[in-house]
Amino acid sequence: MDDPRIDDLTGRETMGHEFDGIEELNTPMPRWWLITFYLTIVWGIGYTIAFPAWPMISGATAGLLGYATREEVAQDIADHDASNAALVDELLAVDLAAFDPQSDLHRYAVARGGAVFRAQCSQCHGSGAAGAIGFPNLLDNDWLWGGDLPAITYSITHGIRNETDLDAHWSQMPAYGDMLATDEIEQIADFLPTLASANNDTSAPGAVLFADNCAACHGDAGLGNRDMGAPNLADAIWLYGGDRDDIIESITNARFGVMPAWGQRLSEEDVRAVATYVHSLGGGE
């Protein structure tokens, strides 16, 4: 082999090729640099053998070390649960009727409950807990079955009108379309918006019909009854809509909201946490 060509001007060796008279000087990298470069290639090959790397038809090569990110996640979750074990024990032991909202445990319960709510409850009640037609708004101060923390916990644990939990809240409004004439139902619907005013006309036909048919559950003043989940008809909140047509529809066909018994699906600490979260949204009593 010949010695490399030496460029006259610089006195340095060239790469030996030329293009239209232009030659390239040889500027070699230091030996340690090239060795490092080759070592990284060797390391890269070893890495793909040791760790999951090459895509195959139904997955990837497992790697000789048996490392899997899923196991790491499972370990992380287990570690997280272990680090929270003391708080969970406290949460299970705390008296919900006297839960201090300024305590760290309460903050933990709200944070944990928020996660449960977004995963389990937001489908019906909305991610902001504002509800929808037929699904109660949990932010306001109107509660069908009670709004203190033990009552909310009970509602979540046993649910509403479900077939799976014997302790579920249960009540049934008759469909008055079978029992009253259409014009009578309209008279009640016309009377209801005046319930809240002190000087409403108690001799109006709607008032008489209300007293005969509705007051047994909803109360003489229409304030509702939480023992049987009878809504307050004298306030500004209408779960199924407050327009005349909506009210006529509700009286004619009756309404029954249903909620699963979450005590059968969630751990007790999760139920307590999500109840604390709902209680902290602004309507808690």
Interacting residues with another protein (CB under 8 A)? 1-5, 13-16, 26, 28-34, 101-102, 106, 126-128, 130, 137, 139-142, 232, 235-237, 280, 282
Please give the distance of CA 279 from its chain centroid, rounded to a whole number.
15
Which tokens is 143 given? 């509660």
**Please, which residue, 69 or 102, has the CB nearer to another protein?**
102
Q: H or E element: which one contains 283? A: none
- In the complex, minimum distance from the CB of residue 4 to another protein, in angstroms, rounded to a whole number: 4
- In the complex, minimum distance from the CB of residue 165 to another protein, in angstroms, rounded to a whole number: 28
Which tokens is 276 given? 């604390």
User: 146, 112, 114: which is closest to 128 by C-alpha?
Assistant: 114
- In the complex, minimum distance from the CB of residue 141 to another protein, in angstroms, rounded to a whole number: 5
- In the complex, minimum distance from the CB of residue 46 to another protein, in angstroms, rounded to a whole number: 21
Count CA atoms within 13 Å of residue 156 on its CB side. 29
User: 179, 189, 172, 154: which is closest to 255 by C-alpha?
Assistant: 172
Residue 169, annotated as binding a ligand: no
**Please, which residue, 158 or 279, has the CB nearer to another protein?**
279
**Please, which residue, 147 or 206, has the CB nearer to another protein?**
147
Residue 228, annotated as binding a ligand: no
**Please, which residue, 123 or 172, has the CB nearer to another protein?**
123
Q: If you write DSSP's letter for every residue of 105-119 in order, what string do you get?
A: HHHHHHHHHHHHIII
Residue 218, annotated as binding a ligand: yes
- In the complex, minimum distance from the CB of residue 143 to another protein, in angstroms, rounded to a whole number: 9
Residue 259, annotated as binding a ligand: yes
Residue 121, annotated as binding a ligand: yes
- In the complex, minimum distance from the CB of residue 66 to another protein, in angstroms, rounded to a whole number: 23
**Please, which residue, 53 or 237, has the CB nearer to another protein?**
237
Residue 124, annotated as binding a ligand: yes
Count CB atoms within 10 A of the CB of residue 140: 17
- In the complex, minimum distance from the CB of residue 182 to another protein, in angstroms, rounded to a whole number: 30
Residue 217, annotated as binding a ligand: yes
For residues 232 and 208, give the distance between their C-alpha atoms in angstroms, rounded to a whole number. Answer: 18
Burial class (CB in 10 A: 0-12, 13-18, 19+), 184: middle
Residue 214, annotated as binding a ligand: yes
Phi, psi of 56, deg, nearest 5? -115, -170
Task: Give the three-class secondary structure for 12.
Answer: coil
Q: If you write DSSP's letter for every residue of 118-136 in order, what string do you get?
A: IIIIHHHH-TTS--BTTB-
**Please, which residue, 37 or 54, has the CB nearer to another protein?**
37
For residues 187 and 248, give the distance between their C-alpha atoms in angstroms, rounded to a whole number. Answer: 9
**Please, which residue, 3 or 95, has the CB nearer to another protein?**
3
Which tokens is 235 given? 């306030």
Binding site members for heme c: 121, 124-125, 173, 214, 217-218, 259
Binding site members: 121, 124-125, 173, 214, 217-218, 259
